[in-house]
Structure formats: structure tokens, C-alpha cells
Structure 1
């Protein structure tokens, strides 16, 4: 397992690299317990979460007031998140928007419904990078549990290593929180976390990633979230 590392330090928060396999809430071995030895703070606060198997950018507040402020930014969709993922199979569509309500089914799984009362909204681009292997860059507009995993499963391309959603078995789940972009008290914050060595060793991944100059400037579909 890769170590936790600091990506960005602010007086009010940190952005860290969360390794795949580290959980959020374990008081002894979770992400906060693993981060505290790296900093001078006595306490840190979760503002959002990543699934245990997901790696990449995670934002931790340094005090309660910052946690409340950042939590509000997440709740009002003012923090842009960009992910990369690898999947097997051919998707029902190569790019676009996936929108639908999500329902907890069984054994921790969720399913995507055709209704859109409180939808999970996920936008993506994808490209085949090797025989049977496809890379995705994903922008979730909402923050539902397992949202990206369910969205890619609905395309017929479950994430590589995501055995909960019948993805092809692998040494890890190939979902990575690549970039965070947001404005914090009039300051623009942009933080990237390079994908881990497991991604880099997959055929075609690095040439594909090098083609993406500025992820926020991709031709993302227009979509207005309901207020």
C-alpha cells in the first residue's frame, strides 16, 4: 500500500493523497489516523469521503469552522471533482451524461433507476486504450454513494477491480480522484494527484492521460442541477 502524502497545505485545510485500501472512519487505521503523524495539527475533520478502494485527492479540514464551510461547498456542488477510471468491455455510449435516482439494493450495492427525482448525475469521456480496456475521465456533478461505480456499471463497463459491481478481478479498484477545483474565500484552489503506479503500468494509460491538457476545459455537456 502506498503511504499517505500531502498534496496541498492551506491554513484551513489539507488536500492529501489517499491510497487505495485506506478506510475513512477507522479510528486507529483510517485516513485521519494515518495523516496526523504528517502534520502538526491535533485533530483533522472529514469534509467528504472516498470509497475504501478509491485513491486520490481527499480534502481534510484543520478546524471545525473550515469543515463546516467546506461541507457547505460540497453540499451546494461548488467543488469540482475529476476522476480517472479503467474498465473492461464496450460501453453503451462513449461519452455523455448519466442521470438517475439511486437505490440501495443488497450487500452494499446500489442500482441506477430511470426516475430523476433526486438524481445522481455523472458526466464522462472514454477511450479504448488497449484490447478490452477503456479509460474514463469522469466528472460527478453530485456526490451519491458509489455514484461513479454505479454509473459505469450501467454502461456495461464496470470498473476494473470493482468486484462488488461485477468488474473484472484485479489487484485494486481502478478508480482515482484525480483533481479538485474550487474557490475558497475568493481564492482559486486547483490540486491534482497523479495516478498510482498500478494505473501507469496499464497498457495505453499514460499516452491517453498525456492527451488531456486541461480537464476542466474538455467539452463537458451542459447540465443544470436542480436547486
Structure 2
């Protein structure tokens, strides 16, 4: 049985809790569901709080950051409907070490299964993925991306940045040749906002794990950007 301190150190930290849902900061490298005898993050939060929770959306194993877990199936359904209706504004941070073909804009295309567990972006409209982004030079060849996915497809951000020539640092699937150079996959669910039961919710959590995220140039840029919703996002 894991101790509370082990759970919060290894799996997540608690960001907020109310009668409807829990918001956590998921650690990188942790599975969403339990796998191969290892607790997933959902089970870890359940054990920590001593109650059943219901998933609303997911984060990949390599991705850290904000994750909502509902306290009832009814709340889970309501929040899931908000995600499906694209009424949840999500903002992610990513770091890449290759300059993109364009430094900001819109990435739009159909998501299609590729080899192994990979996806690829096509010119078709089937399973359409829409991603908006800005990027900023951090020095030493690194770039910080602030990404706003309008849709919520599997691997969407990872595939989108790969498609413009900037696979995410440490990504074990889409940057396989250089992934070993980094201490984590550099994708983080940074800010989220939505209205539920006539109340507006806004949550923000900066990444606290990862040499590149914690580097002074990245920290300075995050302080400068502050609220992602106020950026001049490209029109869709």
C-alpha cells in the first residue's frame, strides 16, 4: 500500500478540489490507467482521497499537468460533454529543439493511424484535428511552444508539432532518435478554463519537473506570457 507522501511525490500533486471534481497536476512518465502492475494516476488519486473518481479527459504518459477527475458519473458526463462541444479552453506548453516551418499559426488535418503506436496528419478531413500555436526562441536551439488544441484527438499536439518539423523534446514516439537526450517528454497541460453549473473555473499550473522547463529563459517567457487566453490566437 502506497503512503500518501509517496503518491503525491511520485504520481501527482493536488491543485484544487470541490464538491464536483478534483484537479491534479499529473507527474510526467505516469500512466493514466494502471498497467503492468503499476498504479495509474487515476487509481493513485482514488487511493489518496479514499473515494471513487471518474475520468473526464486523458493525458499521455509523458505529459504532465492539469487533469480533471469527477466525483460522480453525472459530473463526469457533464464535463465530458463540455470537452466534446469544445467549450473547454486548454493551453499546453511544449519545448522542441528544431525550428518549425512556421513560428505561429494553425495546424489542421485529419488524424490517421500510422505504424506501431504512431499517428500522422493527413490532408483529409476525417478525424479532423485543429491546433493553434505560438513559438518563442529560448536560445541554444530550443523553442517554447504555447499550444491551444481546439479538438482533442489522441497524440494531437505531438503529431501537430512533428508535422511542422518540431517534434517535442524527449518524445519517445515522435522524436525517437534524440529522445534519450532529455530527462522527460516536454509536454505540459498548463492552463484550463470552462463554465460548469454557471460557474467559471480557471486553473493554471507551471511545470515543476524538467531541466528545460525550469531553465531561466523558459521561466522568463512564461512570466511574460502569463494568461494564455489573452494571446492573439490565430483565427480558425
Unaligned runs of 5+ in 1: none
**2:33–2:43 contact (8 Å) kept in structure 1:** no
Question: In 1, Cα distance between the equivalents of 2:143 and 2:95?
Answer: 6
Match of 1:175 in 2: 187
* Worse-matched range after superposition: 30-39 or 88-97: 30-39
Match of 2:41 in 1: 31
Question: In 2, Cα distance between the equivalents of 1:166 and 1:82?
Answer: 22
Match of 1:7 in 2: 15
RMSD: 1.5
Of 208, 211, 223, the residue aligned with 1:196 is 208
How many pairs are equivalent?
222
Of 200, 209, 227, the residue aligned with 2:222 is 209
Q: TM-score, normalised by structure 1?
A: 0.93
- Does residue 109 of structure 1 match 2:121? no
Unaligned runs of 5+ in 2: 1-8
**2:112–2:127 contact (8 Å) kept in structure 1:** no
Structure ranking higher in helix proportion: 2
Question: In 1, Cα distance between the equivalents of 2:107 and 2:136?
Answer: 17
Question: In 1, Cα distance between the equivalents of 2:148 and 2:45?
Answer: 26
Deviations 1:141-188 (A, max 9, x none): 000000000000001010000131125321110000001100011100
Structural mapping, 1:85-96, within 5 Å:
85-96=94-105
Deviations 1:99-155 (A, max 9, x none): 000110111000000122441000000011012100000000000000000000001
